[in-house]
């Protein structure tokens, strides 16, 4: 791999965003190279809840169109399962989760309110403590590890290349275009550059004079021992997201974000007892008949957040051959669509299937320098975050 001198499109970041974009480009015969500082999926893309239900996003229709076809399109399994059940333990949660109904209905998707009999039937691990629930005939979940690997293999099947364990350290520009990417293994020439480096997108884009404003947060997931399979694996609520795996484990996350300052190539975040306990307690409330199940694994991940919670997918106005893409904490589910949008921006300069003007970087032009403090997104220990 050290012999690689260049590629038509170089993508920085081997998470779902970069790999999906790489796959979209490679399947059209574009010479694409994804450069990853560690292993693919080592950051949020391999540590997330696998949810694919982003009805608030302009990419929602494309997300929903593509997920049921992804196994076939990629040629590898993602374990996608459609639809979602959300249970509420209070009237407040019921009202909150109910907002999805009208939003999704406007876009042509059906949802239903579940009565207690239906909850018992569809969610055998639930108890009588939920005030109600919803069945969304949209969204779903997939296995993050399988999906990530599927993108990488599918991209490589189409001739795309992948370079792991190689950090990008800088960029070379000539006449308003980036012409090369500086890496730990030397300079790699490119015609186009995509920066899809998760929480590091801000730092890397700042090297080109356009800092994408971002704050990073650590959050956690727990996994229980396997339990009998429920009719629907996509059950969440009570402030949690997650799924039942095909083996029966409950894999759930949620709770407060612990805001971090991430510097350079920091070591992966580690889980902590307070947040794990918090998720375990909420999970036992959500699914009381699983309260006896032992937690057998847990991990932490760092999510990327923009000030308004919306993705940035945009071409830089000063270097027109550069696309920056960061998904602001909803990047797994949106990945089939975000890769398509990035492909469109690289090849055609505009997204062909959705209005993504709300993802423009220019919306942050007037951002206050102390926006993190104003939002209360400052570094806090897990205990402080729980108390806040
Ligand atoms: C616990 C948890 C639960 C989540 N649950 C969900 C969910 O249910 N549904 C959902 O849609 N989203 C969820 N998310 C968010 C989702 O995982 C992310 O939005 C998504 O994975 C972002 O993908 P990405 O490829 O943009 O970034 P990342 O996954 O962060 O990948 C970026 C990659 O860039 C690499 N990189 C960075 N700097 C460099 C460099 N200098 N050189 C080379 N490579 C570099 C990194 O090593 C990394 O692999 C969750 C996240 C977490 C942590």
Quick check: 61 and 107 in contact, CB under 8 A?
yes
Distance (Å) of CA 48 to CA 219, 267, 298, 301, 314: 9, 17, 11, 7, 24
Coil, helix or strand for 339? helix
Please work out whether the CB of residue 13 comes within 6 Å of at least one atom of ligand 1.
yes
* Phi/psi of residue 158, nearest 5 degrees: -90, 10
What's the confidence (pLDDT) of residue 384? 63
Residue 66 to residue 63: CA distance in whole angstroms = 5
Report strand pairing: 250-254 vs 240-244: antiparallel
What's the confidence (pLDDT) of residue 269? 74
How much distance in Å is there from the Cα of 208 to the middle of ligand 1?
A: 21
The DSSP result for 287-308, as a single string, is SGGGTTPPEEEEEEEEEEE-TT
Please work out whether the CB of residue 18 comes within 6 Å of at least one atom of ligand 1.
yes
Quick check: 253 and 241 in contact, CB under 8 A?
yes
What's the confidence (pLDDT) of residue 382? 53
pLDDT tens by residue, 121-150:
999 999 999 999 999 999 999 999 999 999
How much distance in Å is there from the Cα of 167 to the middle of ligand 1?
A: 16
Residue 93 to residue 217: CA distance in whole angstroms = 24
- Integer-rounded Cα Rg, in Å, for the chain is 21
For ligand 1, atom 52, name the residue with the nearest CA: 48
What's the confidence (pLDDT) of residue 144? 97
Distance (Å) of CA 240 to CA 46, 108, 143: 18, 26, 17
User: Which residue stretches of the chain have pLDDT < 70?
Assistant: 1-3, 263-268, 380-388
What's the confidence (pLDDT) of residue 381? 56
Instruction: Give the CATH superfamily of 3-51+145-213+308-369.
Output: FAD/NAD(P)-binding domain (3.50.50.60)
Residue 190 to residue 371: CA distance in whole angstroms = 34
For ligand 1, atom 53, name the residue with the nearest CA: 301
* Phi/psi of residue 145, nearest 5 degrees: -65, -45
Indicate the pTM of the whole model.
Answer: 0.96
What's the confidence (pLDDT) of residue 136? 96
Residue 310 to residue 294: CA distance in whole angstroms = 36
How much distance in Å is there from the Cα of 149 to the middle of ligand 1?
A: 14
């Amino acid at each position: 791999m050290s012999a690689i001198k260049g590629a038509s499109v170089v993508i920085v970041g081997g998470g779902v965003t970069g790999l999906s974009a790489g796959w979209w480009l490679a399947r059209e015969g574009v010479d694409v190279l994804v450069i990853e500082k560690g292993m693919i999926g080592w950051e949020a893309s391999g540590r997330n809840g696998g949810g694919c239900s982003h009805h608030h996003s302009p990419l929602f229709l494309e997300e929903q169109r593509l997920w049921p076809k992804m196994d076939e399109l990629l040629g590898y399994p993602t374990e996608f399962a459609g639809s979602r059940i959300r249970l509420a333990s209070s009237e407040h949660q019921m009202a909150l989760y109910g907002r999805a109904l009208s939003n999704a209905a406007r876009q042509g998707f059906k949802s239903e309110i579940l009565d207690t009999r239906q909850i018992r039937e569809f969610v055998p691990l639930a108890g009588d403590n939920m005030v109600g629930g919803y069945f969304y005939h949209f969204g779903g979940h997939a296995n993050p590890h399988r999906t990530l690997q599927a993108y990488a293999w599918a991209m490589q099947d189409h001739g795309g290349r992948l370079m792991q364990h190689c950090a990008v350290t800088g960029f070379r520009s000539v006449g308003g275009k980036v012409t090369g990417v500086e890496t730990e293994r030397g300079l790699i020439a490119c015609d186009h550059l995509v920066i899809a480096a998760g929480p590091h997108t801000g730092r890397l884009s700042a090297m080109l004079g356009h800092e994408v404003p971002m704050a990073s947060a650590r959050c956690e997931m727990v996994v229980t021992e396997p339990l009998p399979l429920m009719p629907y694996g996509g059950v969440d609520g009570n402030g949690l997201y997650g799924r039942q795996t095909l083996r029966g484990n409950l894999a759930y996350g949620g709770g407060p974000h612990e805001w971090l300052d991430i510097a350079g190539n920091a070591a992966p975040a580690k889980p902590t007892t307070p947040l794990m306990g918090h998720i375990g307690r909420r999970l036992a409330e959500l699914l009381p008949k699983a309260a006896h199940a032992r937690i057998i694994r847990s991990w932490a991940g760092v999510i990327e957040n923009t000030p308004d919670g919306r993705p940035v997918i945009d071409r830089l106005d000063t270097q027109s051959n550069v696309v920056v893409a960061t998904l602001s904490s909803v990047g797994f589910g949106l990945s089939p669509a975000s890769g398509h949008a990035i492909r469109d921006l690289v090849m055609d300069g505009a997204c062909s299937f959705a209005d993504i003007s709300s993802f423009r970087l220019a919306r942050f032009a007037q951002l206050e320098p102390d926006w993190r403090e104003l939002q209360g997104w400052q570094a806090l220990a897990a205990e402080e975050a729980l108390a806040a």
